[in-house]
Structure 1
Amino acid sequence: MKKVWIDAGHGGKDPGAVANGLREKDIVLKIALGVKKQLEAEYEGVQVLMSRGSDVFLELSERTAAANKAGADILVSIHCNAGGGAGGFESFRYTNALSESVSFQSLLHQEIMAALKPYGITDRGQKSKNLHMVRESKMPAVLTENLFVDVAKDAGLMERQEIIVALIAGHVVGIAKHLDLKKKEGSAVAKTERNINVVSPWAASVWKAMTEQGYVDGSRPGAPITREEMAVIIGRLKKNLQK
C-alpha cells in the first residue's frame, strides 16, 4: 500500500493569498480533497493522508512531522500564488533535493501542465527553493503553486469548475505515474470518466464548423456550458444574423 501525503496549504486563521473574492485556503482544500477522492477511487493500492480535511490551522512543523511519522511515500503541498504579473502554474522542490524528488517534480509538473494546456495557462517552470514543506519532509516532496489569486485572468479561471477538475486530474495522474499505480478494473469512475478536451465523434463535424465560424474557441468540447458562455454564443449568433 502506497501512502500519499497531501498538504492543503494554510487554513483556519491563515487564509493564504486573498484577492478577487478568492481565498487561497479554500481553493487548495477543494483541490486536495478532490485529489484524495479521485486517486483512491481510481487506483489500487494507495492511501491518501492529509494535513487537513477542513478549514483548520496547522503550523508548518505540525504538517511535516505528521507526514514523516506516517511514513508517507511522497508528499505534495498544494498552494495558490500571488504577485505574479502574468500568472500561471509553477512547482517547487527543495534546493538540495534528492534525485527522486527531482524526477517526481518533473513528472507531476508535466502532467498538471498537460491538463491545463487547453486553457492557455502560462507554464512558469519547475523551480527549487528553501521551503519548509519540501525541506523538512523525509520523502520525495513537491510544492505546487496553482495559478494566481491576484491576477484577474487566473482568478476568473479558478472560479470555473473545469479548471479545478483539470488541476485535480493533473495532480492525480502525476502521482499515479510516479508511484506506478494500477487503475482499478471496472471501477465506476473509470467507466464514466470523460476527457473534456476530446470531442465526441457524433459532434465532431458540427464542433469543427462552429469553431471555424467563431461561435466557440475550439477548447473543452466535453465540458458543461455556463450561462455566460451560452450568452456569448447567442450574442455571436445574433451578430451574424444581423449582417
Structure 2
Amino acid sequence: MKLYLDPGHGGKDPGAEGNGLREKDITLDIAMRLRDILLNDYEKVEVKLSRTSDVTKSLSARSSEANAWGADLYLSIHMNAADRSACGYEDYIYSGLSNSSKAANYQKIIHDEVIKMNRLKDRGLKKANFHVLRETTMPALLTENGFISNSQDAVLMKQPSWRQNVAQGHANGLAIAFQLQKKKNYSPVPTIPIPGKSYKIIAGSFQSFDNAKNRVTALQAKGFKALVETANISGDIWYRAQAGVFSNRENAEQRMAHLKKSGFKDVFILT
C-alpha cells in the first residue's frame, strides 16, 4: 500500500486555533505517529507525507504530488472548529462519489476504527467538495479529529496518549481496508495512561521530531520502552523521548538512574 499522508495546514497557515492549540501542530503530530506505526508494524507499506515540519504548502502542491507518486489512498488529517458547543469526530469523501465507491468503503472501515479509539462523539460519515478530495486521482479521505474550539475536545488533544490512540485508530482502519500484514517482530508503542499524580521519565527533548525519534530508537535498542510525545513550550513545539511513567517517585528515580548508567545523560523526571 502506498499512502499519501497529509497533515493539514502548516507554516503561514495555522489552521484552526483555540484553547492554546494550533491545528497545524496537532495534525502533524498525529500524522508522524501514524507514519511510524505503519512503517514499524506492517509489511509492504510506503508512506509519503505532504510535510514533516512546520512549512507552508499549497493544496494544489499536495494533490499534484500525491497524483504523481501514484498513491493508493490520500489521507488528510485535520481538526475541526465551530462554536464552542460543537464537538466530536467526522470524516469526508468527495461529494461526487457514490456510497458504493472504493473511497466510501475505505471511509466506513477507517471511521469505525478511529471511533473505537478517540473517545469523541460520533458525528458520522460525510461528503464535501474539498480540493484534496476532488483533485486527487486515487480514493481520498479527510478526517476531522475533534473540535479545537471545544474545551472538552481540546483537553484530549493536549494529551500525547490521545494523539497516539487517534493515530492507532487510523492505522487499524488502514490495516483492515488494505489487508496489511503485521511484521513478525513488531513492537507496539506503549500508551497506557496512569490516573492521578505520575512521574514521567523524559530522556531527551528536541525541536526536531526526527531527532526525538532517533533517541526513541536508541532507547528501544537498549531495552527501554519509549515513545515520542510533544510539548508546547512558550509557543514552540518540542518533541520529547518518553521512557516510562510511574505512580511512585522512587521507581521513577530508579529508572532515571538506569537510563543514565546506560549512557543517556539528559534525563529528567516530569511530575
Tell me the TM-score range normalised by the shorter chain.
0.7 to 0.9
Identity percentage of aligned residues: 41
Q: Where do 4+ consecutive residues of structure 1 move more than 4 Å? A: none
Relative to 1, partners in 2 of residues 1:226 and 1:180: Cα closer, same or farther, differing over 3 Å? same
Partner deviation per Cα, 1:22-48 (whole Å, 9 max, x = no partner): 000000000000110110100000011
Give the aligned partner of residue 180 of structure 2.
Answer: 181
Q: Separation in 2 of the partners of 1:38 and 1:186?
A: 13
Structure number having the greater helix percentage: 1
Aligned to 1:90: 90
Cα deviation code 1:47-77 (max 9, x no counterpart): 1111001000111000000000000000100
Cα deviations across residues 61-99 of structure 1 (Å, max 9, x unaligned)? 000000000000001000000005230100000011261
Gaps of 5+ in 1: 197-221, 229-243
Instruction: Give the TM-score normalised by structure 1.
Output: 0.77
Structure 2 matches for 1:154-169, cutoff 5 A? 154-169=153-168
Change (3 A) 1:142 1:226: farther
Which structure is higher in RCO with an 8 Å CA cutoff and minimum separation 6? 1
Tell whether 2:115 aligns with 1:113: yes
Counterpart in the other structure of 1:210: none
Post-superposition offset of 1:107: 0.5
Give me the CA root mean square deviation: 1.9
| Matched letter for residue 68 of structure 2 | K
User: Secondary structure of the residue that 1:227 maps to in structure 2?
Assistant: coil
Unaligned segments of structure 2, at least 5 residues: 199-271
Distance 1:226 1:42, change over 3 A: farther
- Partner deviation per Cα, 1:156-203 (whole Å, 9 max, x = no partner): 11111221011000111111111111000022x14xx56x6xxxxxxx
Alignment length (residue pairs): 197
2:103 maps to a residue whose letter is S
State how far apart, in whole Å, the 2-side matches of 1:20 and 1:226 are.
23
